[in-house]
Structure 1
Amino acid sequence: MEQKAVLQRRLKLWHIVAMGVGYMAPMAVFDTFGIVSEVTAGHVPAAYLLTIAAVLFTAMSYGHMVKVYPSAGSAYTYTRQTLGPHAGFMVGWVSLLDYLFLPMMNALLTGIYLSSAFPDVPQWVWIAGFVVLITTLCLFNVNVSVSVNALFVAFQFLVVALFVVLAAYRLSAGGEALVSAQPLLSADASWGALLTGASILCFAFLGFDAVTTLSEETVEPRTTIPRGILWITMLGGGLFFTASYFAQRLFPDVSVLNNPEGASAEIALALGGVLFQSVFLAAALTSTLASGLVSQLSGSRLLFAMGRDRTLPGPVFGYIHRSLGTPVFNIVLIGLISLTALVLDLLVATSFVNFGALTAFTFVNLSVIIHYIFREKQRSWLALLRYLLLPLAGIGFVLFFWTHLERNSLMLGGAWTLLGLLYLLWMTRGFRREPGTIRYEAAEGSG
């Protein structure tokens, strides 16, 4: 009988929280600040509060499902078990967009940051170096990756804390009160603008999705992962809200900035001079490194789950290296895909990531309703609240976010979905078989 490949359980709660927050890239709060401030007319903190409320519904759904299926695969596994293997494959296929292209985004951002600081060095050098470093770290025991990631996250929190201290000092020195309702509520605020801002910011909260792919490597995942999801959402949300609040107090009108779409460098320079701007750049780099590390780890685990189920070629995607204990082929593959940062731009990568993330969010909420309400027939008032009304609220917010996707996201995501559907048709011989029933005899026989 063929032995099922499994991952070893090594991760604890602090590991999960560090990985999730690292995936969220805390320094990204300053990269999006200028754009969202323009959209919301100077109410970025209020948009963050709305975003936290919106994503909490979906975060709770992830927590419910990991208690039932504490294995690698995340939305793919939950959908496969509740809606069937065909739907599960398609959700897994589309979710791959998130995990395959986020490492590429981080590689590209690293190239942009370092090229601006060292213009004499070609950007491709930084991109290639980033990909090699992240791929190498991911190949080792998962605890190595987690420890490195925790250091990156700690440094980013320190820089944000330093920013808050400097901002509070600047406000106090200028005779302004530290507490003001202006960034949260004013005559210029509108629900439509705040919701639009939230649709931009929601993608900063993908960390809770990523850590569910590590369930199979987590000690007591049924309790650890749901607690981790809550900590990730609240810690990340608290950092985003606090940083954006003080940034908005300093710059209530971002039109004074030369480049609102790249506001972080100007904010740092205005607040602490060239030295603090250099510290900000270092934190931005650790942000891309941490996010790139976790996204490559998570993506390799999703590919592993699909390979183990044989919805992708099992001998390659379902392989675990005996001594390293990691899916090495998947890690290297994502590293190679990340090298597309040499030729693709940030808009294409963002379009893929957004489409994949919203697909996963939608089907995880649906999976909760199907599993608890229809399969387990939990119909008490409390169950209806937890497993029907709250997931429906999550779906409602996600549908709103869907309506705000850019045309590129819909077109590129739709093309990828069509490609997956064609592969599914071939694999199942026109839906006459279940996904994963094809045996890759030639590949298996050669091993």
Structure 2
Amino acid sequence: MTDAEPAHLRRSLGLVPLIVFGLSYMAVATVFTTYGIVNQLTDGHLALSYVVALIVMLFTASSYGAMVRKFPVAGSAYTYTQQSFGGVAGFLTGWILMLDYLFIPMINFMILGLYMGTQFPSVPTWVFMLTCLLAVLLFNVLGIKLVNRVNITIIAVTIAVITVFAFLAIKTAVADPNAPGLIDPFIPGAEGFSPVLTGAAVLALSFLGFDAVSTLSEEAKDPRKNIPLAIMLTTLIGGGVFIVISWLGARAFYLDDWSTASEDLLNAPGVVLAEHVGGQVLVTAFLVMVVIGCFGSGLAGQVAVSRIIYAMGRDGILPKPFAHIWARYGTPVVAAVTVSIFALSSMFLSLDQAAFMISFGALGAFSMVNLSVIKVYLFPKGERRPAGAWPIIRYGLVPLIGLVLTIWLWTSLEPLTWAVGGVWLLLGVAILVAKTHFFRRPVPTLDFSEDPSTEAIDAMADEVPFDGPGGSGTAGRTAPTPPVG
């Protein structure tokens, strides 16, 4: 691309590919990823934690849909907060959001390495991780259409294996007179709802697929219609699968005391469950599903975070090279390579550390998106507040409930997670202070008030800072139309 041409992504995705992308990012088989960790936290009440998490996520998914209708562009929660509360809040939200997006590809590489290590113990796990990482980078650079074709294959294989697992799990539970009752997995234990909430907070990472869908707004056809619908359907379908599979697993394989769970059950629970209900044949099929599922989720994760980094580079918050688009494939190649380099740290972290940090970043961003709906729709700048009861309910009460529930889960995370997350946030503040010379310079932001059409959004280009005290930067369109303050 030449300097005179604005950076933009290609619109090529309809409703079905968007849903497939979201489900692939979710990796419906991810229920086995945190199966051991959350069952240990909740003493076997994983299914109930998923129900709580789904309820919270539906409110937040509704808020994402509302914001996409206003700002159908790449950037997700970063863009929505930026447009609602300004550049400082936008940057810090994007910075927190990057925490979970950077860890998503990483955790998939870790899971793949752990599962492959159970079958090939003589091969170092980092070999499997690095191979997957390089393959994901290659597919990401080659373009979103290729990513979509890969995702369709992955979803098909995953559905097939999970269907077989469900059938065998039902058969195992029916044949076992000591299996828990039908509703037992949904009844809190002796410690009440507190462990369930902690588990639900961790499971927030399972629902990041709907947030990932919003990052493709600039590559979607009719984004104001298709993106919100894809967000809700991805959340409902994925959440339903999580609840059913965790319920079946609780009935087919259970422990009296999850604190005594083995390392294999915590790190590679899918292999243990598959062997218990279906023997070595199902273990083999499960490993195939895990490998391609981790590849697909890691691929979708890298696609999503590279779009966020691209958007922040385009705004001038991050260095401009991050907004570079490879003209041949229409992909943000510099951002993609950066994510891959960060993902190399998967070779040094543990699975539970990565899972907790993903949830911290996700819940922080979800909170700001809920707040943004209230600000944009009920307190629009320079516009009349909408009249009637429906706007108050849809854009006030619903996101407020989502905000309260999200903060409830957020504060249920372990103290160490908050400590690490706080350090990450302080690092973001330091970058922001340096970028703005102690806030003496404006924070660059995008401005969409001039023309809300997707065509105008596609034409957004380089940062043009405003002058004057209290001003904020903007990314306006190229001449002859000047940016609007």
Fold shared, TM-score > 0.5 on shorter chain: yes
**One-letter amino acid of the counterpart of residue 345, structure 2:** T
Residue 159 of structure 1 pairs with residue 165 of structure 2: no
Unaligned runs of 5+ in 2: 445-462, 466-485
In 2, Cα distance between equivalents of 1:415 and 1:438:
31
**One-letter amino acid of the counterpart of residue 379, structure 2:** F
What's the secondary structure of 1:321's corresponding residue? coil
Instruction: From the superposition, tell whether residues 347 and 197 of structure 1 become closer, same or farther in structure 2 (CA, over 3 Å).
Output: closer
In 2, Cα distance between equivalents of 1:48 and 1:347:
17
Return the match for 2:286 from 280, 283, 291.
280
Aligned twin of 1:235: 237
Aligned twin of 1:51: 53
Aligned residues of 2:43 and 2:257 also touching (Cα < 8 A): no
Instruction: From the superposition, tell whether residues 35 and 422 of structure 1 become closer, same or farther in structure 2 (CA, over 3 Å).
Output: closer
Residue 183 of structure 1 pairs with residue 185 of structure 2: yes
Return the match for 1:432 from 440, 447, 456.
440
In 2, Cα distance between equivalents of 1:332 and 1:244:
35
In 2, Cα distance between equivalents of 1:50 and 1:328:
38
In 2, Cα distance between equivalents of 1:417 and 1:93:
7
Instruction: From the superposition, tell whether residues 401 and 276 of structure 1 become closer, same or farther in structure 2 (CA, over 3 Å).
Output: same
In 1, Cα distance between equivalents of 2:168 and 2:419:
44
For the aligned residues, what is the CA RMSD?
2.3
Deviations 1:243-285 (A, max 9, x none): 1111111134354864542432221111111111121122122
Bigger drift between 318-327 and 418-427 goes to 418-427
Q: CA deviation at 1:235?
A: 0.8
Residue 389 of structure 1 pairs with residue 394 of structure 2: no
**One-letter amino acid of the counterpart of residue 207, structure 1:** G
Trace 1:369-408 onto structure 2 (pairs within 5 A).
Answer: 369-375=374-380, 377-408=385-416
Trace 1:153-232 onto structure 2 (pairs within 5 A).
Answer: 153-174=155-176, 180-185=182-187, 190-232=192-234
In 2, Cα distance between equivalents of 1:236 and 1:187:
25
TM-score (norm 2): 0.85
Residue 113 of structure 1 pairs with residue 119 of structure 2: no
Q: CA deviation at 1:170?
A: 2.7
Q: Which has the higher helix share?
A: 1
Q: CA deviation at 1:287?
A: 2.1
Residue 140 of structure 1 pairs with residue 142 of structure 2: yes
TM-score (norm 1): 0.92
In 2, Cα distance between equivalents of 1:169 and 1:347:
31
Aligned twin of 1:421: 429
Aligned residues of 2:212 and 2:301 also touching (Cα < 8 A): yes
Q: CA deviation at 1:191?
A: 3.1
In 1, Cα distance between equivalents of 2:188 and 2:423:
42
Residue 352 of structure 1 pairs with residue 360 of structure 2: no
Aligned residues of 1:351 and 1:412 also touching (Cα < 8 A): no
In 1, Cα distance between equivalents of 2:69 and 2:101:
22
Q: CA deviation at 1:196?
A: 2.9
**One-letter amino acid of the counterpart of residue 46, structure 2:** V
In 2, Cα distance between equivalents of 1:373 and 1:333:
38
What's the secondary structure of 2:237's corresponding residue? helix
Aligned residues of 1:110 and 1:127 also touching (Cα < 8 A): yes
Q: CA deviation at 1:337?
A: 1.3
**One-letter amino acid of the counterpart of residue 222, structure 1:** R
Return the match for 1:293 from 292, 299, 302.
299
Residue 364 of structure 1 pairs with residue 369 of structure 2: yes
Unaligned runs of 5+ in 1: 440-447
Q: CA deviation at 1:361?
A: 0.5
In 2, Cα distance between equivalents of 1:318 and 1:347:
32
Deviations 1:287-325 (A, max 9, x none): 2111100110001100111111111112x1111111110
Deviations 1:6-38 (A, max 9, x none): 101011111111111111122221232334334
Instruction: From the superposition, tell whether residues 94 and 242 of structure 1 become closer, same or farther in structure 2 (CA, over 3 Å).
Output: same
In 2, Cα distance between equivalents of 1:370 and 1:425:
25
**One-letter amino acid of the counterpart of residue 119, structure 1:** P
Return the match for 2:102 from 96, 100, 103.
100
Aligned residues of 1:73 and 1:213 also touching (Cα < 8 A): yes
What's the secondary structure of 1:73's corresponding residue? coil
Q: CA deviation at 1:354?
A: 2.4
In 2, Cα distance between equivalents of 1:186 and 1:365:
28
Q: CA deviation at 1:66?
A: 0.3
Aligned residues of 1:354 and 1:409 also touching (Cα < 8 A): no
Instruction: From the superposition, tell whether residues 356 and 200 of structure 1 become closer, same or farther in structure 2 (CA, over 3 Å).
Output: closer
Residue 307 of structure 1 pairs with residue 313 of structure 2: yes
Aligned-residue sequence identity (percent) comes to 38
Aligned twin of 2:8: 6
Instruction: From the superposition, tell whether residues 286 and 255 of structure 1 become closer, same or farther in structure 2 (CA, over 3 Å).
Output: farther
**One-letter amino acid of the counterpart of residue 277, structure 2:** L
Instruction: From the superposition, tell whether residues 422 and 173 of structure 1 become closer, same or farther in structure 2 (CA, over 3 Å).
Output: closer
Deviations 1:399-428 (A, max 9, x none): 112212223322222222112211211211
Bigger drift between 173-182 and 133-142 goes to 173-182
Return the match for 1:84 from 86, 101, 117.
86
In 2, Cα distance between equivalents of 1:406 and 1:89:
25
Aligned twin of 1:250: 252
Instruction: From the superposition, tell whether residues 333 and 37 of structure 1 become closer, same or farther in structure 2 (CA, over 3 Å).
Output: closer
Instruction: From the superposition, tell whether residues 3 and 344 of structure 1 become closer, same or farther in structure 2 (CA, over 3 Å).
Output: same
Aligned residues of 2:75 and 2:215 also touching (Cα < 8 A): yes
Bigger drift between 22-31 and 216-225 goes to 22-31
In 2, Cα distance between equivalents of 1:325 and 1:225:
20
